[in-house]
Amino acid sequence: MIIAIDGPAASGKGTIAKRLAAHYGFRHLDSGLLYRGVGLAVLQTGKLDDPAAAIAAARSYDPARYPEDDLKSDDVAKAASIVAAIPAVREALIALQHDFARSKPGAVIDGRDIGTVIAPHAEVKIFVTATAEERARRRILELRGRGETVDDAAVLADIKARDERDMNRPVAPLRQADDAVLLDTTHLAISPAVQAAIDIVEAVRAGRRPA
């Protein structure tokens, strides 16, 4: 079984995907980490403007080379969003995601184009969203929690710029698949949001249309 979770940055999709995977005993792939790895590779070579460098990094992608802790910064997120708009970069990362999608007994994959491009045949598709202001608020709390100095307006501007880039690129833009269920977490804490996602999976499994 494949559960596809798409949505914008800081919508809660990553936590929901992780907890769904634990709940069902499925494997979890955060596909954003793949693009972040390529983003970090081009930042390290100082060639963010050079599509050839990004394509080469994607074609030789090795997850072991990019520990998750190195991929969390906003600079890497921005670089990921830029390299993710290059069709050949996306192409190079498809096989890995398709292999993962075949995991038994099931896979939960989160990203931007999982329900639309990577696994259009997924049994369950959830599109997780929240207002840009609420997503910025969460991000600000997270950064302050890490002891970082935060410019609130800059965080909101970054989130909006990333949404804009991810939704308006010609290849595999962020959008809700026609058969995805919308889960708006603007007014939901993480536990009720995860429960809502479980309810959606259960409704789909039982052949009911989720509320």
Token pair for 8: 């914008």
Quick note: the x/- pattern for ligand DC over 94-123, rule CB under 6 A, is: -----------------xxxx---------
- Gyration radius (Cα) of the chain, Å: 17
Burial, 133: exposed, middle or buried (Cβ in 10 Å; 0-12, 13-18, 19+)? Answer: exposed
Q: Check binding of 29 to ligand DC (CB under 6 A).
A: no
Q: Considering only residues 64-93, where is the footprint of ligand DC by CB under 6 A?
A: 77, 80-81, 84
Cβ contact 203:210 at 8 Å:
yes
Cβ at position 111, least distance to ligand DC in Å: 2
- Return d(Cα 3, Cα 182) in angstroms, integer: 14
Contact residues for 164 (Cβ-Cβ < 8 A; gap 6+): none
Q: How far is the CB of 184 from ligand DC (least distance, A)?
A: 18
DSSP state of 4: E
Q: Which of residues 126-185 bind ligand DC (CB under 6 A)?
A: 162, 166
- Residue 84 or 122: which CB sits closer to ligand DC? 84
What type of residue sits at position 41?
A
**Residue closer to ligand DC, measured from CB, 40 or 194:** 40
* Side chain identity, residue 180: A
Q: Tell me the closest approach of the beta carbon of residue 113 to ligand DC, in angstroms.
A: 5
Nearest to ligand DC of 114, 140 (CB atom): 114
What residues make contact with ligand DC under the rule CB under 6 A? 9, 31-32, 35-36, 77, 80-81, 84, 111-114, 162, 166
